[in-house]
Amino acid sequence: MSESSSRQVTSGVRQLLIEADSAGQRLDNYLLKVLKGVPRTRIYRGLRKGEFRINKGRVKADYRLVEGDVLRVPPLHQPEPGAAPVIPGFWAGQIQSRIIYEDAGLLVVNKPSGLAVHGGSGLNFGLIECLRQLRPQDRYLELVHRLDRDTSGLILVARKPAILRELHRQLRGEGVDKRYLALVAGRWPRERRMVEAPLQKNIVQSGERMVKVAKEGKASVTGFVVLEQFPEATLVEARPHTGRTHQIRVHAQFAGHPILGDDKYMDDATAALAHRLGVRRLFLHARSLSFTLPDQPRLQLDAALDPELEEILKSMRK
Q: Among candidates 167, 224, 216, 152, which has minimal Cα distance to 191? A: 224
- Say which residues have a Cβ less than 8 Å from residue 234's Cβ, sequence separation at least 6: 183, 184, 186, 187, 188, 226, 228, 257
Q: Can you spell out the DSSP letters for 124-190?
A: S--HHHHHHHH-TT-S--EESS---TT-EEEEEEESSHHHHHHHHHHHHTT-SEEEEEEEEES---T
Region for 184 from its dihedrals, namely left if φ exceeds 0, alpha if ψ lies in -120 to 50, beta otherwise = beta
Identify whether 148 is a catalytic site residue: yes
Give me the amino acid identity at 222.
T
Q: How many Å apart are CA 101 and CA 279, to the nearest integer?
A: 29
Comparing CA positions, the residue from 207, 123, 105 lying closest to residue 166 is: 105
Q: Of these residues, 28, 138, 148, 302, which one is catalytic? A: 148
CA dihedral sign, ordered 255, 261, 266, 271: positive
User: Is residue 36 packed enough to be buried (19+ CB in 10 Å), middle (13-18) or exposed (0-12)?
Assistant: exposed
Q: Which residues are catalytic?
A: 148
